[in-house]
Amino acid sequence: MKKDGKRSVRLSRFHGKLARRLALAGFLISLVLGFSVWVHERTVVGDAIVSRALLGTANFNAQIEDLIEASGVSDRKAVQRELDEYGTRPGVPDPKGDFVLVTVYDSEGGVVAELVETGYVHIKQMKSLVSVGPPAFPAVGDYELEVARVEGIPHVAIALPLTNRSGDPVAYIEGIYAVSREAMAGIRRGVWETVAWVIAIVLVTTALLYPTILTLMGRLTRLSLSLLDANLETLSVLGSAIAKRDNDTDAHNYRVTLLSVRLAESMGLDPPEIQSLIKGAFLHDVGKIGIRDSILLKPDHLTDEEFEVMKTHVQHGRDICERSAWLKDAIDVVGHHHEKFDGSGYSEGLDGTEIPVRARIFSIADVFDALTSKRPYKEPFSLEESLEILSKGRGIHFDPALLDLFLEMAPALYQEVAGREDEGLRREVERLTQRYFSDDSEVHFD
């Protein structure tokens, strides 16, 4: 029931995390799409403004076409009248915008006619946009263009050729086209409405997807939990089977696991490192499955030849763990728990910090448990005797810094762990294991 309760809490946290991440993803996507739509709409609006400016110029060109001869403008006063009439035609000012400054030049750059909307509030700024004339006489189909904004209102400065009936450019016109405030307000409103619709569609789509994603991820999480249970159960069963073959009890594995984790926690080892330590502690002697009974169960001291065979259990253990992706990180303990700090251990003769830290931690816990536990060939040593023996191995068998930390903790650990074989010990280690491996069953987004 406690395990199910903890899993319910983890699933609840997962649901909350999924909802937050989906909401964030939907919000970010909507912002990106919204910005893209905004840029696109602004481009479309800009193109529309330019089109209106070009259309207005083309209309004026058609209006004065009769006044343009093959060689140029024949009647400048008539062009001025037409320009004045164009500026006061019915329907002006156009609700969408209109020209506020227009100048007609002849082919030599001389002013033929000019129209200035004197009542326009930004007319002075607009005059600064108009050059003395285009740097080169524009060809038919070409135009010079500049867009400026004053108080948020777009103004298009444009220069185009004016053609005669034959289509030959004989004059040119410069003008400033200003978009009306009403039109600009409508444009902004349309753009933001489009952006709002895009954002709303993305968010609604995200909300509709949430139940489906939640269902799929929930199944994945439950499968992960089942797989974790299976892995941990296999770990416990395999370690216990080997321990019982050697010692007639699997309590040793539980005790050394608890002792190792307590020391690792005190030195601040990271949770992933502690996960590996737990695996290694349970399986530290798994390689003994490859040692024949005549040596493994021999009641007397082993001969030198037999001891060399016994030492091969380390390599057997490595080989077993190598075959499992989930157990590979247990190799540090399985393969190096018989190394000694001074380099006199086996199987590789590593010394000092060459020995993986998890193996250095475990070796202290393993020896302490061996000293304080009853074995067929001995009674348990007292706490004082055990600490004295451990201290003699400082810097020889054990890492001095880790041993000093363990000696401080030893009295409390002795009371908590020494000699225990009860079901409470197993439950405590199971809770510890679930705590450190629980994150493996959750889906991470980081």
CB 312 within 8 A of CB 260: no
% of the chain exceeding 70 in pLDDT: 74
Sketch out the chain's domains with CATH numbers.
21-189 (3.30.450.20), 220-441 (1.10.3210.10)
* pLDDT on residue 138: 52
Phi then psi for 119, rounded to 5 degrees? -80, -5
**Rounded CA Rg of the chain:** 44
pLDDT category of residue 439 using cuts at 50, 70 and 90: low
* pLDDT on residue 303: 92
CB 50 within 8 A of CB 145: yes
Q: Is pLDDT at 4 greater than 70 in this prediction?
A: no
Which tokens belong to 366? 């393993």
* pLDDT on residue 229: 65
35-38 own/partner pairs: CB under 8 Å, 24+ apart: 37/191, 37/194, 37/195, 37/198, 38/191, 38/192, 38/194, 38/195
How far is the C-alpha of 122 from the C-alpha of 320, rounded, in Å?
A: 85
* pLDDT on residue 8: 58
Single-letter amino acid code for the residue at 264:
A
Over range 205-212, report the average pLDDT.
75
CB 117 within 8 A of CB 97: no
For residue range 119-156, list pLDDT tens digits in order: 777 777 777 766 544 445 555 454 555 566 777 777 77
Cα-Cα-Cα-Cα dihedral sign, residues 370, 375, 377, 381:
positive
Query: What secondary structure does DSSP assign to 191-230, as a single string?
Result: HHHHHHHHHHHHHHHHHHHHHHHHHHHHHHHHHHHHHHHH
Over range 217-245, report the average pLDDT.
67
Most confidently modeled range among 61-75, 188-202, 369-383: 369-383
Q: Is pLDDT at 385 greater than 90 in this prediction?
A: yes
Cα-Cα-Cα-Cα dihedral sign, residues 334, 390, 245, 299:
positive
* pLDDT on residue 427: 87
Which tokens belong to 419? 């000699």
More confident residue, 229 or 79: 79
- What's the pTM value of the predicted model, to 2 decimals? 0.55
The CA-to-CA distance between both ends of the chain, in Å, stands at: 30
More confident residue, 352 or 441: 352
% of the chain exceeding 90 in pLDDT: 27
Over range 185-214, report the average pLDDT.
74
Provide the H-helix boundaries in 64-133. 76-87, 123-127
For residue range 287-345, list pLDDT tens digits in order: 888 888 888 888 788 899 999 999 999 999 999 889 888 889 999 999 999 999 999 99
CB 144 within 8 A of CB 159: yes
* pLDDT on residue 176: 81
For residue range 9-57, list pLDDT tens digits in order: 555 666 667 677 777 777 777 777 767 766 776 676 667 767 776 777 7
Q: How many CB atoms lie within 10 A of CB 197?
A: 12
* pLDDT on residue 172: 81
* pLDDT on residue 231: 67
More confident residue, 306 or 203: 306
* pLDDT on residue 443: 41
For residue range 66-108, list pLDDT tens digits in order: 777 655 676 788 888 887 876 665 444 455 667 788 888 887 7
Which tokens belong to 97? 């915008």
* pLDDT on residue 98: 72
Q: Is pLDDT at 441 greater than 50 in this prediction?
A: no
Which tokens belong to 92? 């002006």
For residue range 410-430, list pLDDT tens digits in order: 999 999 998 888 888 888 888
* pLDDT on residue 168: 78
* pLDDT on residue 315: 94
How far is the C-alpha of 428 from the C-alpha of 362, rounded, in Å?
A: 18
